[in-house]
Each structure stands twice: as C-alpha cells, then as structure tokens.
Structure 1
C-alpha cells in the first residue's frame, strides 16, 4: 500500500511529540520537538554552540481552476548552527552562522496548470536539492549599536522582515524577491555584506550589498561558498525600520520602508533595441541598465484579549521595475488573531487579501499583437488572492495549519478559471 508523504510526515511528528516532554527543560529548547537532549543541548549552547533545525511540509489540492484537479506535496528540512565566538574563545561580539536547507516535492500550480503568478505552496522551489543557505560571519560593535554580517546569505534573512504565516507565497516572508530579479530568497544564498545601525532599540537603518550571479540558482551549487562564472552586477538595498509600543502593557507595532537597486542588465519587457515593439520585429530586446524598486511592510497590534493574544493588522506594498519585472506590484493586507480561544492560547487565525499586478509593458505586448492581427491574445492585468488559515498547536514544536486559498483571474487573466485550493501545512522545530 502506497502511503502519501503527508501521512508519513504527520505520523512521524505525532509519534515524536510525546517524547519531547521527557527531553525538555526550562530553557529555550522546551518548545522544540526533541527538547534539550538530557541537558546536552543547553550545555553546548552555554559553551557557544547552538544547534537547531526544523521541518515544513505543505499539501495542496485544487477543487476548481486549472486544467485538472490534482494534489501536490512539497517539504523542507533545515539544520542550523550558531557559534558564539565570545563563549568559545573570547572573541567579543563575533559569531558564525551556518544553515543547510533540503527541499523536495512537487508543485500544485504546475501539476494543475493553475496559471497563478505566485505559488500556492510557498515552501516549494529552487530544485529538489540540498543547499548551503547561510555561511556568514557576524560582528557586533558597542553592544547592539552596529551589526556587520559578511559571507553567504539569503537576502530574505535581512530585508523585508515579514513573517511566513501563510501557505500562499503572496503573503510569506521577503516579498520583493518573488517578483524582482537578482534578489534571491531562501534557500538561495548570495555573497554579500549587511550593516545595521541601531542608535536606539526603537529604530534602525540597514544597508546591504550582494553579488548578482544567476549561477547561484544552479542545482549543482549545493555546498559551494561561491558561485562559478562572473557576476553580472551588484544588488544594493537600504531599509529603515521603526518599532512602537514596546513598553509594558503597550500595543507593539513595526513600520519598515526600503528600496533596492540592481546594476545588472536585463531585457526590456516590451521594446527592442530600436525602441520598437519587440513583438512585431525580429530584433533583440532593449537591455535596461539595471532595475530598482521600493517596499513597505507594516504590522500593528490593536488590542489584547482575555487569552493573552489579540488582533494584529498588517499591510505590505512592493513596487518593482515595470520595465523588466513581469509582476511589478504586490499589495496585501490582513490580520492575525492570536489565542482566539481561552482553551487554545497557542493557536492563531490568519486572513489575508492580495493583488498582484502584471506590468503594463506585458499588457502592451498583448494589445499590440491584437492590433496587428496576431491575436487574439489575452491582456493580463490583475490577479487577486486570498487565504484563511488556522494555526493549530499540537504540542512542543509541532504545528498543523489547515488553510483555504482562492485565486481570482490567475495570471492576471480574466479568461483563466478561478482556483480554489485546500491546503495543509505541518511544521516542527527540532
């Protein structure tokens, strides 16, 4: 009898969950699946070696939309090591961070031909391979006033600090990296450096610079600490963040704005080298001298309920480069309701609405083709996405998140059938 990967994952996690209590102690490892390993883990951490890891698996099936009804399962295992040099050999403020990520599985959007702009399983992507995602040195100066990181990093580790509490990629983590070029998200790493200055705990400014090398995407990159071939440009990002309501009894909020510039050359989505519509000529596309964009992400808690949780609203805006990025704008808003019931203080209900915009230049191509008698070609504009989920805590380190997604006008095309997707995420912290 063939057992679905989701069933195997759930069975293993549920079997291990009761054991975690026996290995847990009253420290930071009490909320992990494997606990403190009889005190060994906390002893290592006290000596400067902190080990961690986790598993995320996402099942998705479409009840409508696409060319057929089917299902898919994708997952990720990650292992991390943080090495505190001050505890290990007296190097004040220094540390080394290493993360390895392994991804596997299939994607519903492809199997069902949903035509969606962003994925219904955020955990899928970048090949079924194991990669060195983070390998960087960190140095802090004057306490937390200045923080410098140098090495191999995913850009999502440092910029656009939005959590990943949804299965849809539209509402998960570092959104600019899903639509612009040269900004790679987990599990892809890039060689770079980041400097963060925090004059006060309530605000910071951060500047980052990264190589732009498409070979970082190669599936044979694996554990290499550099990418083969020459860089085609540099990616620079600046971010300013504020925190409000950090005092006792106050309602916390975070307000972040940022901008990026990529110096690499990219093809114009519409024009050829002569400035004419490329869809009507055989000429090469015009090459743009770099691209740029801006973003903002806001999160604000509005109140506290009797269970100790409460309602938090969020909003995200990403404006990419309309000349070179097919999806040039992401808008989303929603809420988190923590501790929705007194009997379930660790649970959470989440809801989000989003709109993805296809660049005007892509739409122009369709209009020009139709006017020239090359059609009919559907003109893409906006895709609308929604997700509601319930984050159900099973015990130490294990969480189930059933969810429902709805996609209107997949691909920004009114001619595409709207898609309804049922999903289930299982996650565990080791």
Structure 2
C-alpha cells in the first residue's frame, strides 16, 4: 500500500467540513465497537429521511431495506477509519490512516422461512491503509490503531447458524466464528489504542485466539441458568492457516494444530433504585491443545536467547479473562450526564506467550457540553505486561553482552478523546494518546499520538 499521510489529512479535513455543516443537526446513540458488528440498522418506515436524520448514509434503498428487514433479512454496513500522527517518538513524524469496511447480513429464519429460533450471520471485511507504528518504528507492544492488522485484504469474518431452544434458554451456534465474539467481548469503539480495546484475551495471544476479521470453524453453546446468569461453552479449531493473507476465505481444515476449549460465565444485573444501572460481568478462560515452543527456555532449561539452542516444547496454551461493563450514573432522558465504565483483564500462561497479561479501564461520560446530549468524552488507561520469563531472558542477554537496553516489562497507554455525534450515521472522534515505556522499556521516552476516528454507518 502507498503511504497514507494524505488520507489522514484528508480525513481530518472532511470531518471538519462535516462538523461545520452539521453542528446543529441530529446526533446518534452510542458508537458501536470498531471491531465487532454495530447495531443493525432497521428503518421504521420506507420514507426516506433527510441526510442529517438518516440512521444510515445510504438510506432505506427506496424502501427495500425496510421490506427486507420485515421479511427477516437485515443488512449492516459501516466504514471505520483510524487516522493518526505521531508528535513524539519513532524515527520521524508522520501521519497514517487505516480503514475497515464491514459488510454484514443477518437472517431471522422465522421471519424469512417460518423456522422458529434460527439465525444466520454472514460478515465480510476489507481492511485498507497503513500502520503508523510499523512505518515509523514506534516499537510498541500494542498498536495505536485498533483497526489495522491481519492484512489489507478481504476476509470472511463470520458465517454461522444459531438455533435457540427452550424458549431461548439454550442456543447452539456452529460455523465460522471468532473467539472474541463470544468470550471476553467488550466494546472498544470509543478508543483507538489496542491496549484499551477488548477482548483482551484474543489480543495478547493473537497467534491462536482470533478476533474479527479472522474466523475459524467452531461451535458455541449458550445456556441461561437464571434470567441474569448465562454460561457459554465453546470449541474452536486452532489453525494458523487462517491468518495467511492468501487465505481470506479459506474454509478448509488443513494446517489445524489443535482445538481451543473456551468457557465463560456471564452475569447481567441491574442496580439502582429504578434498575437503571445495568451491568455485565464476565469471567472465563481458554485451553488450546496445540503444541508450542516455550517462550524463554531451551531444551536444557537455560535461556534460549543466550544459548541459541532449540526451544523446549510445551503441550498447550491457556489463560483466563475477566470483563466488566457497568453504568455508574444513569443518563437523563435525552442521553446526557450518563457515566459508564468498561474494564478488561486477561492473563496468559507463562510457558508459551510473550505477553503475560493486559488490563484496561475506560470511562465514558455523555453530554459534557450543553446542547450536545449524546456526545461523549472518553478516557482510558491500560497496561500490556511482558512475560517475566522474557524479561529475565533479556536481562541474561544483557549480562552476557548480547543485548543492550532495558529489558521489556510493562507498556502503559493513556487515551482521551471526544465523540462528536455529527448525525445518526456519522461519528467524529478526535483524541490524543500517550504511551509510557514504549515496548515495555523504561529507558525509552514516551510517545504522543494524535488521532481522529471516523465511523460511518452506510
């Protein structure tokens, strides 16, 4: 791909023009996550609203969108752009932009064909653009653009069928799935730095747990235990072939290395005198039966980075995760003055993973500015923690004169942004990131990155 400094600057100019033209226009609800399907658009009537009132920029397609939805077929289309510029850090100051086009179709089988409790989901992605972290050598543990990665190609992100039983208490899903859609999922549409974006588990072990746009064959069983308590159990093929950039629509099983077993318990209480403070609490874990190299030790139990011998072998990967979404202050009827929190934690095994853990907390407040009830200001802080065995191995390299610089430990990310709801279909989110101890190295200066996230519902 060619350099995208121009894309980033044009994106900023385009956003500024839209803001100027529509500062008094309608606003949309909370921005959907950038790397999971946003809320499907189902227009209430075939009447085409004006540009500034449309829930989707492409409108109702002359009434076809509404008719299709009434017959059980809902289309979800959006484009997300992460444009960034580094003001400090890296080999030079540059601007880059990355984008993702999301094309999804959901079929309600009861409406479409009279089959109760069925649902079909098909989703494809196209990613475009460039990575600032890669192009200017920021040397980070996690990138500053969540939307970049897995190749600037088309990919099949979902293709599954779900059937509900027992009045919805039980649901079985089979097909092309991702670990992150069912286990440890939390929204990250309000932030750009990947340390802050959930699900944390799939991001610290991205070599074998995949988020969209990379899918694998799998199945998930969801069981409602009580109205507020659910259990998810899943099995997913562990297959690195799915990562290849020439396998965006690969449906085979050749190259599979094992099976991922995943589980999660989910609690969805409502607090407050009026039950207006909903929350979602998750705890779970995973186990991958694939063989792998030890992350630090050789066949003799010494540090491989010092001896250069073959790595010791391990018989599995594993880890645990916990997630929280909680409304802390209920918004007013117009959506203003609501405060919510999102928390993520994932811890991987010490034997096979370079990153030991990732944790983040994100706070969002709506309606800070009078007259902008559904805008939000969001602040997040998080940390990516290097496996202590990797840190010790690097220190051993330093002692042997094979390496210089502080060993890697913990990288911290801070992000502050403002979500401007330009129209129900367009969100403009300028912000700034600060990365402390880039790459987990205390002897490196901090990095400052300005960002502009654009979200278009099409």
Q: TM-score range by the shorter chain?
A: over 0.9
1:193 counterpart residue number:
219
1:57 matched residue in structure 2: 81
Let me know the Cα RMSD of the aligned residues.
2.6
Q: Normalising by structure 2, report the TM-score.
A: 0.87
- Deviation of the 1:11 alpha carbon: 4.3
* Corresponding residue number in structure 2 for 1:75: 99
- The aligned counterpart of 1:347 is 375
Aligned equivalents of 1:8, 1:411: Cα separation in 2: 29
What's the counterpart of residue 98 of structure 1? Answer: 122
Give 1:142's match in structure 2, choosing from 157, 166, 177: 166
**Distance in 2, Cα, partners of 1:358 & 1:24:** 44
> Which residue matches 2:298?
272
Helix, strand or coil: the match of 1:169?
coil
Residue aligned with 1:43, SS: helix
The whole-number CA distance in structure 2 between the counterparts of 1:313 and 1:157 is 20
Q: How does 1:276-355 map to 2 (within 5 A)?
A: 276-306=302-332, 307-309=334-336, 310-355=338-383
Verify the 8 A CA contact 1:194 1:209 in the aligned structure 2. Answer: yes
What CA distance in whole angstroms lies between the structure 2 residues aligned with 1:407 and 1:9?
22
Aligned-pair CA distance for 1:280: 2.9
The answer (yes or no) to whether the contact 1:391–1:400 under 8 Å persists in 2 is yes
> Is the 8 Å Cα contact of residues 296 and 389 (structure 2) preserved in structure 1?
yes
Residue 62 of structure 1 and its aligned partner are, at CA, apart by: 0.5
Structure 2 Cα separation of the partners of residues 375 and 5 of structure 1: 38
Q: Are 2:284 and 1:258 aligned?
A: yes
Q: Report if aligned partners of 1:243, 1:252 keep a CA contact under 8 Å in 2.
A: yes
Written as runs of structure 1 = structure 2, the 5 A alignment for 1:148-159 is 148-159=172-183
Q: 1:375 offset after TM fit, Å? A: 3.5
Name the counterpart of 2:68.
44
Query: Aligned in 2, Cα 1:50/1:334: closer, same or farther, shift over 3 Å?
Result: closer
Distance across 1 between alignment mates of 2:134 and 2:255: 32
**Which one of the candidate residues 388, 391, 394 is aligned to 1:366?**
394
Structure-1-length-normalised TM-score: 0.93
Deviation of 1:207 after TM superposition, in Å, equals 0.7
4+ runs of 1 displaced by more than 4 Å? 8-15, 17-21, 27-30, 246-249
The question of whether the paired residues in 2 share the 8 Å contact of 1:114 and 1:410 is answered with yes
Q: Secondary structure at the match of 1:264?
A: coil
1:202 paired residue number:
228
The count of aligned residue pairs is 426
Relative to structure 1, the CA distance from residue 158 to residue 31 in structure 2 (aligned partners, 3 Å threshold; closer, same or farther) is: same
Deviations 1:326-350 (A, max 9, x none): 1111121131112323411221111
Match among 401, 425, 436 for residue 397 of structure 1: 425
